[in-house]
Structure 1
């Protein structure tokens, strides 16, 4: 039997809300990270063959920019 569930990310110890725990922001951030990574990692790998620094920057974009910005904009 295969169980396919929705990824649930929990971040505890934050000071952005009274509960000190975030669930919705990190979960949506992870889903946005995965969607962007599906596009940017193959493109970054192709660019890396010709221009190493540019390819590295493209491949690190989902983790360095997308996930933190989406996760931090939702305080719950």
Structure 2
């Protein structure tokens, strides 16, 4: 099963719909989350704020940057 994400109402292209960017963004998010969430949970045991930042990184940095880099 391949996930397909659709984002409508965007102004980055003439048809106002994005499929490729959000789908690749989700796949990049999932790959980063597999690595960063366990590491963040371990770091959280010792440094709470640093652990939270590590666990939030896929959602706050990776997904938006990949999604916005591809206009279609």
Shorter-chain TM band: over 0.9
Give the structure-1-normalised TM-score.
Answer: 0.94
Cα deviation, residue 28, structure 1:
0.1
Partner of residue 42 from structure 1, selected from 38, 43, 65: 38
* 4+ residue runs over 4 A deviation: none
Q: Which residue of 1 aligns with 2:57?
A: 61
Unaligned runs of 5+ in 2: none
Question: Which is higher, the Rg of structure 1 or of structure 2?
Answer: 1
- Within 1, Cα distance between the matches of 2:53 and 2:28? 18
With normalisation by structure 2, the TM-score equals: 1.00
Q: Which runs of 5+ in 1 are unaligned?
A: none
Match of 2:21 among 2, 20, 25: 25
Structure 1 counterpart of 2:69, from 62, 68, 73: 73
